[in-house]
Amino acid sequence: MAAPLISDILPDLVEEIAYLLRERGAEPLCEQLRALRIESICDCGDESCASFATAAEVKVASTVELQATEGFLIVDLNAANQICFIEILHRPDVKYLLEEHYTAG
């Protein structure tokens, strides 16, 4: 089974991240965002973590910190400037939707 699109599981989060990326002047990343899939969920064990990988291999070269109104959102980029991981902390809404998706299957 193919990994789910972020926009299918977390459509509101995709719109929020796209808006915040535009605010930071990072429009080219918005184009990538809608096609990204959730490849794996972070297994750090932190109760406040709802982070996930968007690439099979995560090698972070740079980050874009976004000014979210709730919690923390950080977009991790690889050396090719492709989004490879999205760090999400203190966002119970996102964590709930991820858990619902992955436990419903």
pLDDT in tens, the chain (105 residues): 689 999 999 999 999 999 999 999 999 999 899 899 999 999 999 999 999 999 999 999 999 999 999 999 999 999 999 999 999 999 999 999 999 998 875
pLDDT at 49: 98
Whether 70 and 64 have beta carbons less than 8 Å apart is answered as no
pLDDT at 1: 62
Distance CA 76, CA 93 (A): 21
pLDDT at 93: 96
